[in-house]
Amino acid sequence: MTATWDARPGSREPAEARWPGLAAVLDAARAAAADEAADFPAGGLMELRASGLLGLLVPGEHGGLSGDLTDLAEVTMRLARENTSLAFIFAMHCQQVAAIVRYAQGPMREQVLPDIARGRIYLASATTETGTGSHLLTSRSVTEAVAGLLRIDRDAPVVTGGEHADGFLITVQAPRATSPHEVLLVYAHRSQLGLRTLGGWQPMGMGATRSVPMRLTGEVPMGQILPARGGFHEIVTALYGPVAHIGWSATWLGTSAGALSRVVRYLRSHGGRAHSDLSSELLLTRLAKVRARLDTVHAMLRHVLAASAYIDDPSRPPYQLLANGLKVIAAEQCFDAVHELMELAGLRLGYMRDSALGLERAFRDLRSATLNYGNDRLYLIDGSLTLLDQDVCLA
């Protein structure tokens, strides 16, 4: 398996200059109001559709923007500086698009990719299951093959934007599977499914992702199963896992970079100078630690992006360890950075919900990072992978 996307350094141009539609997306999706109401940013999604950015990763021959994973990371980071939920929604959509670009064949490919590029298909993901949790490589959701169709009846406990999605990538057990490890990744258009929202979404943070529990039932042509020679395991190791880790890490890094930027701007403002001692060793040390955490995550993100392009066999431990390592480090360091900023800013500016610095919202949003595909699970996987790599070949 070879890489699909080219590696290149990040652009020095502001993201809004390269993707002019971005500013309108941010205007339409006001983070504070959407967070308060735990409301999906429908206006932001409408602008994303109009901007062409839903087709960022779709090749030009299908009408898309031919973006690469670096573009995905940069757009996501920019969105997350102001709106973590919207950035997460975008990154999750792009993860599904990447899977379709790499694996979809035949009529499905010809129909779905142009519709994504035109902004007509926003994709959601149903991989988490009640019972197996975030253990991606198993599914207890049985399916039947009926007259050339795959019959699906899937309980999905957490589906970001599911009520607004036009299409879904769903993990299910293969028909007549003899083990829960026989997993398929299937595309279904909204019109092919019966959709029921089974409950609400009242989390501590990430409220505007509206990641509700749903039941998805329906029948789809067998051609909508994403084929891979190595099965779903190959899809996860070669693409689905690493792209998720890149998108999530970019979301968390953008959130914490936005928080640090707002704090530094405040400290340098007239009011900030009047209230803070900018020569305080405590303040300078805290700022330095926060900045170092963000630069560490950023360096790792850039390295994973580069490695994703040159690695020959992404299923081997060095690359898997690197991509998984990005996720766990980003989840921990970005949250710790905002925690430290809250200590620095204090009760009034840091902890209060109505503070213009927005640290409290970033803190609540980032608290989900270690739980979102649990770091505990990834550490277990990485421990086993480390045992397989006795020469410690660093990717």
Applying CB under 6 A, which residues contact ligand FAD? Answer: 92, 124-128, 133-134, 158-160, 206, 209, 211, 368, 371-374, 376-377, 380
Which of 293, 327 has the CB closer to ligand FAD? 327
Distance of CA 223 to the CA centre of its chain: 26
d(CA 70, CA 301): 9
Task: Give the amino acid at 391.
Answer: D
Smallest separation (angstroms) from ligand FAD to the CB of 27 = 23
For 124, counting Cβ atoms within 10 Å of its Cβ (0-12 exposed, 13-18 middle, 19+ buried), the class is buried
Smallest separation (angstroms) from ligand FAD to the CB of 289 = 26
d(CA 146, CA 141): 16
Which of 145, 371 has the CB closer to ligand FAD? 371
Smallest separation (angstroms) from ligand FAD to the CB of 130 = 9
Which of 300, 369 has the CB closer to ligand FAD? 369
Which of 71, 365 has the CB closer to ligand FAD? 365
Report yes or no: 129 and 214 within 8 Å, Cβ to Cβ: no
Smallest separation (angstroms) from ligand FAD to the CB of 85 = 8
The residue at minimum Cβ distance from ligand FAD is 133
Smallest separation (angstroms) from ligand FAD to the CB of 293 = 21
Smallest separation (angstroms) from ligand FAD to the CB of 242 = 15
Task: Give the amino acid at 218.
Answer: G
d(CA 224, CA 211): 24
3-state helix, strand, coil in the chain (%, to 5): 55, 15, 30
Coil/strand/helix, residue 390: coil
Smallest separation (angstroms) from ligand FAD to the CB of 132 = 7
For 135, counting Cβ atoms within 10 Å of its Cβ (0-12 exposed, 13-18 middle, 19+ buried), the class is middle
d(CA 379, CA 370): 11
Smallest separation (angstroms) from ligand FAD to the CB of 126 = 5
Token pair recorded at residue 187: 């595309």
d(CA 224, CA 106): 9
Smallest separation (angstroms) from ligand FAD to the CB of 211 = 4
Q: How many CA atoms lie within 13 A of 51 on its CB side?
A: 25
Which of 51, 372 has the CB closer to ligand FAD? 372
DSSP 57-113: TS-GGGTS----HHHHHHHHHHHHHH-HHHHHHHHHHHHHHHHHHHH--HHHHHHHH
Instruction: State how far the alpha carbon of 346 is from the alpha carbons of 124, 225, 258, 268, 341, in Å.
Output: 38, 52, 18, 17, 8
Which of 169, 322 has the CB closer to ligand FAD? 169
**What residues have CB less than 8 Å from 192, skipping those under 6 apart?**
218, 219, 220
Q: Nearest Cα to 48, choosing from 109, 99, 77, 89?
A: 89
Which of 263, 331 has the CB closer to ligand FAD? 331
Which of 125, 276 has the CB closer to ligand FAD? 125
Smallest separation (angstroms) from ligand FAD to the CB of 146 = 25
Q: Nearest Cα to 372, choosing from 335, 320, 319?
A: 335
